[in-house]
């Protein structure tokens, strides 16, 4: 039987489908993987922002993860929104129990619209408990500053300094996502404990950016689960996200910031009523 990489998202739900577990599964699928999800929180959100958050209990988060690992050989794990302090230890216990590998931790703390997705109480537990389990931690500029207890980096040099701090705090490898730098290309910086590697892609002019951070970390997890080395997985994920942003620029989904289009390759060859186009 053909082998397919099986990737688990441990994240919150986004009912609008652009980010969170729903967005992660779309990315896994678009890259040829089998996607799964254990939900840590329910949200009421859309392209305009997050209206409400309801964390899932730690016991039920733990039960979901156990159900997956006790039955399915998981090749990689992406951790996104955690929702509550109690969920940090519940997640860590199960990942250690099942010797989970290729863990990509995308520590989602604040939604792009500014809505808190866990608050300050989550930072220390995530840093102390989940950083050491991860193969890669992927904070954006704001999240990197929160975890390092520093000001937000504003240029590549400051990104290097904060990546070193996060590595010293327990992250084996850190990808600081510089997508919100004010000028230039979409620039991300990897520190793997030995050297820095820079990743750059054209900045796409689009308002449809909802879930881009989720898509990047999910694509990295998918490629790691398929056997790619870390730098290659990040490079491939950057290419994927750039193409998804290009294709999604004209998507008419919602009245705010819509999502990129992870299915750009499939959509290009899709047959629609009236014939292919």
- Which positions are catalytic? 177, 209, 211-214
Q: List all residues 6 or more positions away from 66 whose beta carbon is below 8 Å from its beta carbon.
A: 94
Q: List all residues 6 or more positions away from 149 whose beta carbon is below 8 Å from its beta carbon.
A: none
3-state secondary structure the chain: CCCCCEEEEEEECCCCCCCHHHHHHHHHHHCCCEEEEEEEEEEEEECCEEEEEEECCHHHHHHHHHHHHCCCCCCEEEECCCCCHHHHHHHHHHHHHCCCCCEEECCCCECCCCCECCCHHHHHHHHHHHHHHCCEECCEHHHHHHHHCCCCCCCHHHHHHHHHHHHHCCCCCEEEEECCCCCCCEEEEEECCCCEEEEEECCCCCCCCCCHHHHHHHHHHHHHHCCCCHHHHHHHHHHHHHHHHHHHCCCCCCCCCCCCCCCHHHHHHCEECCEEC
- Taking the C-alpha atoms of residue 181 and residue 193, their distance in angstroms, rounded to an integer, is 24
């Amino acid at each position: 039987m053909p082998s397919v990489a099986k990737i688990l998202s441990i994240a919150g739900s986004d009912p609008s489908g652009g980010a969170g577990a729903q967005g992660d599964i779309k990315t896994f699928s678009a890259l040829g993987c089998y996607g799964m999800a254990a939900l840590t929180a329910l949200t009421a959100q859309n392209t305009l922002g997050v209206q409400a958050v309801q964390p899932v209990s730690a016991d039920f988060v733990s039960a979901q993860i156990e159900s997956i690992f006790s039955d399915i050989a998981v090749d990689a794990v992406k951790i996104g929104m955690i929702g509550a302090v109690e969920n940090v230890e519940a997640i860590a216990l199960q990942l250690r129990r099942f010797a989970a590998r290729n863990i990509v931790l995308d520590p989602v703390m604040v939604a792009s619209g500014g809505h808190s997705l866990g608050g300050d109480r989550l930072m220390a537990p995530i840093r102390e408990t989940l950083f050491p389990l991860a193969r890669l931690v992927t904070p954006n500029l704001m999240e990197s500053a929160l975890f390092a207890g520093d000001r937000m980096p504003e240029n590549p040099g400051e990104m290097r300094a904060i990546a070193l701090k996060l590595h010293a705090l327990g992250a084996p490898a850190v990808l600081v996502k510089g997508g919100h730098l004010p000028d230039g290309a979409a620039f991300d910086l990897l520190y793997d404990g030995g050297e820095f590697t820079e990743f750059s892609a054209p900045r796409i002019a689009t308002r449809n950016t909802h879930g881009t951070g989720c898509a990047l970390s999910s694509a990295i997890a998918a490629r790691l689960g398929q056997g790619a080395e870390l730098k290659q997985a990040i490079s491939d994920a950057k290419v994927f996200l750039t193409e998804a942003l290009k294709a999604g620029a004209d998507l008419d989904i919602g009245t705010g910031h819509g999502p990129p289009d992870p299915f750009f390759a499939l959509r290009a060859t899709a047959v629609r009523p009236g014939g292919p186009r």
